[in-house]
Structure 1
Amino acid sequence: MIDTHSHIYLPQFRDDLKDVLDRASESGVKSILMPAIDFDSLARMDELSHPRIEFRKMAGIHPCDVGKSLSGKLAGQDGFEDKLHKLAASPDIIAVGETGLDYYWSDEHVSAQRRSFRQHCSVAKALNKPVVIHNRNSTADMLDIIEDEQDGRLYGVWHCFNGTPEEGRRALDSGLYLGIGGVITFKNAGVDRVVADLPLDKLLLETDAPYLAPVPKRGKRNEPSYMRYTARKLAGVKNAGFDDIDRITTNNAQTLFRLDEAG
């Protein structure tokens, strides 16, 4: 299995990181893809190692962190896009993000979030790398921007998908895959019902660790080994075997992120 969205480098794992990674390996996780929150994330990612797990890095600024700077350039401001392009152009960076919009925590910097999101999309297109999208309470604007930026070159993933069937199909039509995490196991979230009607060849497995742990671990710190609960739920939703879900979502991740080509 490939955990396509995990913040395993965050301080929440500092005290027991080896045990967390051992459990991930034992549960069948072979690769962990790490979206950045800010540019300090990359140095922490470089500290990770495990004999049986491959780590892959992304570069970007989370929408809740648009006020943080790279060499004095704030996300959403002039000059930031060039800085991001130079960083994301590195062969060991497999994607641009995470970026996107978040109107839940704050609506004070909406214009800066939108501009930053467009800058990330521009860099992703220029580098022919996928864009990894965070979306919270901002679906209409997020999809509008993706459709506006789509010129045949934009592709990526709507991480932590929790939209309606119509929003899901609109995202797929716009060149996005859908990241399926622990929310699919939440009883009243409704994600399972939506995902049942969406194509399996466009779905990815993820944890968003340390956040959004699936049932039966809901409310606890999430970790990559818990992805097996999400995979089992998805198998039930799709009336498929666990091994089929593992194989298909792994292939989807390899295709989207071009893992066989990445440096």
Structure 2
Amino acid sequence: MHDAHYHYSKEINTLQNEYGISGICNVANEKEFELVQQKHLFYSFGVHPWNASLDTLNSMFPLLKKAPIIGEIGMDSVWCDVDLKIQKEVFEKQLQFAQALNKPVILHTKGQEKTILELIRKYPNTYVVHWYGCMDYVKEYDEVVSYFTIGLSIGKEEEVTHLVKQISMDKLLMESDGIEAVKWAIDSDDYLAALKNEITMVALLKNQSYSEVESILDHNFSKLIKK
């Protein structure tokens, strides 16, 4: 089992160790970077749109150079009020950087799906779309990205369920987004149950067995982290 995108907590770290769950820990600042180094965790690093500023980007370039995966990065006009011009500039500079160094990218697309699609078409790369929550542009994204992580709200949010129905199994990954997201999505803090529910729902939607789905999703994750 894997968790292709999560924010660190002691609880998640303990459960991953106990159950042998592989993952990509999202890192957003120097403090978190130091933590994942101490814990020897596989991680992604990027300037999140909520924190977008050119000063922040410039100060974070040394950590971006060290990161095996860039992200989560993108644009957001739903959950933050950072100037979209600044968000776009910071996002595009990171896309350019990731492409130049051949680093995969994890995307945050909330409310800015069309703009982000236009930008990533300019910079071909290995892209992972995190918890896509839009009914539009699914086919267009499928043409240019490598993977989509499955939001925990599958079966609850129409957009996430629609995505899984439309995307082939070889392009899907599991994610939790962290304990706070688990609580929001399933009204519980049961991390392991949330991941298992993702597999169960995908199996139902794709008419495959639980074990088949788990094996395919884990294979996809292995391919991603080997890049």
Coarse TM-score class (shorter-chain normalised):
0.7 to 0.9
What is aligned with 2:71?
97
Shift of 1:114: 0.6
In structure 2, list runs of 5 or more residues that go unmatched: none
Q: Report % sequence identity.
A: 21
Aligned AA (2:164): V
CA–CA distance in 2 between the matches of 1:140 and 1:106?
A: 17
**Any gaps of 5 or more consecutive residues in structure 1?**
50-54
Is the 2:45–2:64 contact (alpha carbons within 8 Å) kept by the matching residues of 1?
yes
Partner of residue 40, structure 1 = 31
**TM-score, with normalisation over the residues of structure 2?**
0.88
Question: In structure 2, what is the Cα distance between the partners aligned to 1:169 and 1:177?
Answer: 13
* Matched residue SS, 1:182: coil
Deviations 1:24-65, CA, capped at 9 Å, x for gaps: 455x5521211222333211222436xxxxx30112111101
The one of 127, 132, 140 aligned to 1:161: 132
User: TM-score, normalised to structure 1's length?
Assistant: 0.77
AA aligned opposite 2:211: D
Say whether residues 1:124 and 2:98 are aligned partners. Answer: yes
**Structure 1 pair 110–243 and aligned structure 2 pair: CA distance change class (3 A):** same
Query: Residue type matched to 1:191 in 2?
Result: V
Q: Judging changes above 3 Å, is the alpha-carbon distance between structure 1 residues 214 and 199 closer, same or farther for their aligned structure 2 residues?
A: farther
Q: Provide the C-alpha distance between the structure 2 equivalents of 1:197 and 1:212, rounded to a whole number of angstroms.
A: 23
In 2, Cα distance between equivalents of 1:225 and 1:45: 24
Query: 1:238 and 2:206 equivalent?
Result: yes
Aligned residues: CA RMSD: 2.5
| Alpha-carbon separation, structure 2, partners of 1:25 and 1:233 | 25
Change (3 A) 1:190 1:125: closer
SS across alignment from 1:44: helix
| Shift, 1:225, TM fit | 5.5
Number of matched pairs: 227
Match for residue 74 of structure 1 among 38, 56, 76: 56
CA distance in 2, matches of 1:158, 1:145: 14
**Which aligned pairs between 1:6-21 and structure 2 lie closer than 5 A?**
6-8=6-8, 13=9, 17=10, 20-21=12-13
Asked if residue 210 in structure 1 is aligned to residue 186 in structure 2, the reply is no
Inter-partner Cα distance in structure 2 for 1:158 and 1:197: 14
Query: Aligned partner of 1:48: which letter?
Result: K
User: Partners of 2:121 and 2:2 in 1: how far apart?
Assistant: 28
TM-aligned CA distance change 1:7 to 1:258, over 3 Å? same
Q: For residues 129 and 214 of structure 1, what CA distance do their matches in structure 2 show?
A: 31
Residues 1:65 and 2:34 aligned together? no
1:141: how far off?
1.2
